[in-house]
Amino acid sequence: MSYLSRRHLLLGAGATGFAGALGGLSGLGHSRAWAADTSGYKAMVCIFLYGGMDQSDTLLPYDTAEYDLLSQTAREGLFSAYGSDQATSSRHRDNLLPLQPAGPDITGGRQFALPQELAPLHAMFQDGDLAIVGNVGPLIEPTTRAGMDSGTAILPKRLFSHNDQQSTWMSLSTEGARFGWGGLFLDAVAASAPGQSNQFASISTGSNDVFLSGAGITPFRVTGEGAVLPNLVELDYYLGQTERDDDARAAIRALLARTDLGDNNIYAGDLRRTMSRSIENSEQMLAARQNTLPFNTVFADDSVSQQLKAAAETIRAQQFLNVSRQIFFVSTGGYDTHSAQAQTIGRLHANLANGIASFRQAMLEIGRWNDVVAFTASDFGRTQIDNGDGTDHGWGGHHFVAGGGVRGGRLYGNFPEADPTSLDYTSNRGRMIPQVSVEQYAATIGRWFGLDPSEINGVLPNLANFNSSDLGFLSSPII
């Protein structure tokens, strides 16, 4: 019977904090000697924006010709919903925050700006702590409009489907995939550092998605309060609050931890052992967090900020966890803006920007800003042509990458002109055709994380189809 099938049954059972129970699988399927550099400390923080972040309502054209084309032609209805002709509108050109990128001009002299709600990210960009990577999306191979129109292009499966494209961003496969590229990166790290506590390497601060799952790595969930203990231990409702109840709780824990029960049912045995390990790991995380001082940085009460606070507090406790590499998965929804986009996206932008800015400040407090990279991901971008007061499912999108090791203040990748009839877009609805693959984006981060080229290629099967495996937005070690 497959141990992997039992592993996924246990994950589905919802017993939180199961990390480490299956650590013996860390080398599954690999015969070579791993060489990931695990020296020092590094953390990746994936901020997943469920629904599909609108690239052209996040990074807006600022030069007059392109701004007029977007506001008066491609998205006349959406800009009208914003009341962009009014001096107080957030989409009036005078109220946008123009970017002044360093480095070579990759846009042909065109200019871009961010809306006011993203002011903290604008400041980080100008300070060199944030980069923008343009037109990223799932790709099998370099793809053109001509190839799509002729039917010769090899395309990812189930484009424009929320669940499938979320999974493809996280795992390079449609819904139902077992392993994500974050988890597989950590498999390589675990094989190179077997003495570390890898149950604390893969950290979810919200939903448990495939991104963090590897062959031998499973996600561990934390919140702003610390680790999430299984209900048996955490909730007084189950066993009460008296000393006698505590004795009962201790007896149950001792039973879970026994190794001499000779379980006849293999699934029951796995569940019992996993629950026991879950409790131990959760209490170890709680103890580590309690050994640290609170941040002076203030995080807002929204979900993104609170999840980034949980990530920051876990990073601060890293010295007590015996782990040199961690990947965090932060997630938030609301980006499926088919309607009322002008009324909703400002709040989403503000939460995202304030959360990242607070996370940066917290990392500066503890001297870890150079050791972390926070990056956005999303189902897809949105159509360049609006549908009145919103936009529909697209393909390529623009993304933010922040950290002390980021070559910030620059634009990377590809930034098509605003004209949705150009060959940079699909013939239907003006969906931006990605020119940067998710795998190139991931490989650049993985190289910074310490993986060698062979390990990266092993995780990212289509990377060899593209002419570059390093987009240059991170200062990577020489391997």
Given this model, what pLDDT does residue 214 score?
96
pLDDT digits (tens, 9 = 90+) for 116-125: 999 999 999 9
Structure tokens of 372?
């972390």
Q: Model confidence at 238, in pLDDT bands (50, 70, 90)?
A: low
Given this model, what pLDDT does residue 291 score?
76
Q: Model confidence at 243, in pLDDT bands (50, 70, 90)?
A: low
Cα distances (Å, whole numbers) of residue 170 to 61, 154, 380, 450 = 29, 20, 12, 19
DSSP 8-class letter at 431: P
Given this model, what pLDDT does residue 263 score?
57
Task: Please give the Cα distance from 391 to 396 (Å, whole number).
Answer: 14
Q: Which whole number is the average pLDDT over 391-419?
A: 98
Given this model, what pLDDT does residue 12 score?
36
Q: Which whole number is the average pLDDT over 411-432?
A: 97
Checking if the pLDDT of 306 tops 90, the result is: yes
pLDDT digits (tens, 9 = 90+) for 168-180: 999 999 999 999 9
Given this model, what pLDDT does residue 31 score?
39
Checking if the pLDDT of 23 tops 80, the result is: no
Task: Please give the Cα distance from 148 to 101 (Å, whole number).
Answer: 33
Q: Model confidence at 6, in pLDDT bands (50, 70, 90)?
A: very low
Question: What's the whole-number average pLDDT of the chain?
Answer: 87
Given this model, what pLDDT does residue 284 score?
75
Q: Model confidence at 5, in pLDDT bands (50, 70, 90)?
A: very low
Q: Model confidence at 285, in pLDDT bands (50, 70, 90)?
A: confident
Given this model, what pLDDT does residue 267 score?
54
Given this model, what pLDDT does residue 159 score?
97
**Are the CB atoms for 97 and 118 separated by under 8 Å?**
yes
Q: Residues with Cβ < 8 Å from 353, sequence gap 6 or more?
A: 117, 118, 119, 120, 121
Lowest mean pLDDT among 8-12, 200-204, 267-271, 366-370: 8-12
Given this model, what pLDDT does residue 18 score?
34
Cα distances (Å, whole numbers) of residue 238 to 268, 304, 408 = 21, 31, 51
Given this model, what pLDDT does residue 257 score?
61
Structure tokens of 46?
């994936």
Structure tokens of 298?
């203030």
Lowest mean pLDDT among 17-21, 459-463, 464-468: 17-21
pLDDT digits (tens, 9 = 90+) for 61-74: 999 999 999 999 99
Of the chain, the percentage scoring pLDDT greater than 70 comes to 80
Checking if the pLDDT of 224 tops 70, the result is: no
pLDDT digits (tens, 9 = 90+) for 24-76: 333 333 334 457 899 999 999 999 999 999 999 999 999 999 999 999 999 99
pTM attached to this predicted model: 0.86
pLDDT digits (tens, 9 = 90+) for 131-150: 999 999 999 999 999 999 99
Q: Model confidence at 194, in pLDDT bands (50, 70, 90)?
A: confident
